[in-house]
Amino acid sequence: MRARSEAGYTLVEMVVVMAILGFIAGGIAVINVSGSRAESRLAASFQGQTNAHLALDKLRGDVHLACSPNAQSATSVTLSLPPCNGTKLVTWCTRAVGSSYSLYRISGSSCSGGFAYADALGGGSIFSYLGPNSPAGSHATARLHIDMTVNPSPKYNGAGYRLVDDLVFRNSTR
Amino acid sequence: MLIELLSAMFVLTIALTAMASVFMAGILGMRQSKQVTSATALADAQLEAYRAMTAKDIGIDLSAGTVNALDATYKNDTACANASISKTCAGNGVAATETAPTGAAPDSCAQINTWYPNTLPCTPSRTVTPSSTPASPDNGRYRIDTYVTQLAATQTQRAEKQVTVVVRDPARLSHTLVRESSLFDCSTGLAAGSTDC
């Protein structure tokens, strides 16, 4: 007969403990996976939002410096920077990348190459130009109207992150 | 046996709670950062509107109805204070330190707000909601308080208007998300021969 101090666990005890631990481990795994997914979605959306904000700041700097847009469409704007004689051109444009669009800054007047400042834009038509004194009587400087929506994960983020701004051509006439 | 099991579950519960708190802290921190980024975008857009305007039209609506509707959060803000004339909004009321559009025939606030409908630069305090046009970047609610104070000319500089934009969380008005400020020279956008500056 085994001494009391040497008594081990019975099979039933082991099975019960393992079942309980299995439940707990399963719970931990579920929390871990859903937590990681939520965090990575949020991180992706925050990254997209931050990039869009930085892109807008960079574009704001260029527009403030520019004399006027040399060429402008809904998807592209070419800015003439000082000395304002057409020798220093910078183009901001959107290009399709898969099912979304990216916003590029390129030295020169064509929309090829360059650096992508913002990704995951919902659409490519983000620019419109408001000329000097628009609306009439306001004596406002010329402005570049920006309306862009960033949405890295449309399935989870709903409408996404929308930036609307009227960037001022500080060197324009009124 | 029961005690061993209970001890094990207690330890595991502590570990689980810690793990959940780490996730929650990460998510809450990121949400807070997103809110500040959105508030910054709103403040940037608001200040940008003043850069397009002529100096005479920079100002806020100081009509009695508008000023009376402003709450203590607006009036007690430090942006209302003007160190050069030792006055604060809290002690002297908004009209004492802030300025409406000034100079030779400034346009009316109603007219100015019509010209810049996205930012309503003549409105001292407004709340952007998901149903505003345009809505806030993340469809959240933000309160945008704008202060325009007149700084008198000195021997070394012309008169200026100081525009301060403060974006707050409407659910916690004491919590300032973003504060931005810029000075505008009185000569901005003057017509030739004007004596405004």
If you average pLDDT over residues A154-162, what whole number do you get?
78
Contacts of A57 in chain B (CB under 8 A): 44
Contacts of A70 (CB under 8 A, 6+ apart): A78, A79, A80, A86, A89, A109
SS3 (DSSP) at A144: strand
| Identity of the residue numbered A100 | S
- Residue A131 domain-assigned (yes or no): yes
Instruction: Place B119 in a pLDDT band, splitting at 50, 70 and 90.
Output: very high
When scoring B54, B138, B194 by the number of chain A Cβ atoms within 10 A, the one with the most, hence best to mutate, is: B138
Which of A27, A42, A174 is facing B189, going by the closest CB pair? A174
Tens of pLDDT along B73-86?
Answer: 988 888 876 555 55
Contacts of A171 (CB under 8 A, 6+ apart): A65, A66, A67, A68, A84
Q: Where are the domains of chain B?
A: 38-185
pLDDT of residue A157: 63
Q: Do A140 and B139 touch (CB under 8 A)?
A: no
Distance (Å) of CA A126 to CA B56, B124, B184: 31, 29, 29
If you average pLDDT over residues A98-105, what whole number do you get?
95
Residues paired with A144 in a beta bridge: A129, A167
Q: Which residue of B has its CA nearest to A24?
A: B12
- Residue A173 domain-assigned (yes or no): no
Residue A102 confidence (pLDDT) above 90:
yes
Q: Do A31 and B19 touch (CB under 8 A)?
A: yes
Residue B52 confidence (pLDDT) above 90:
yes
Q: Which residue of B has its CA nearest to A16?
A: B5
Q: Which residue of A has its CA nearest to B135?
A: A162
Please indicate if any CB of chain B lies within 8 Å of the CB of A54.
no
Q: Range of A81's domain?
A: 8-168
> ipTM of this predicted complex?
0.84
| Identity of the residue numbered B85 | I
Contacts of B49 in chain A (CB under 8 A): 166
- Residue A75 domain-assigned (yes or no): yes
Q: Which residue of A has its CA nearest to B13?
A: A24
Q: Do A141 and B51 touch (CB under 8 A)?
A: yes
Task: Provide the domain count of chain A.
Answer: 1
Instruction: Place A97 in a pLDDT band, splitting at 50, 70 and 90.
Output: very high
Torsion region of B103: left, alpha or beta (phi above 0 gives left; psi -120 to 50 gives alpha)? left
Instruction: Place B176 in a pLDDT band, splitting at 50, 70 and 90.
Output: very high
Contacts of A158 in chain B (CB under 8 A): 139
3 state SS for B94-120 = HHHHECCCCCCCCCCHHHHHHHCCCCC
Q: Do B30 and A39 touch (CB under 8 A)?
A: yes
Q: Do A168 and B48 touch (CB under 8 A)?
A: yes
- Residue A2 domain-assigned (yes or no): no
User: Of A154 and A67, which is predicted with more confidence?
Assistant: A67
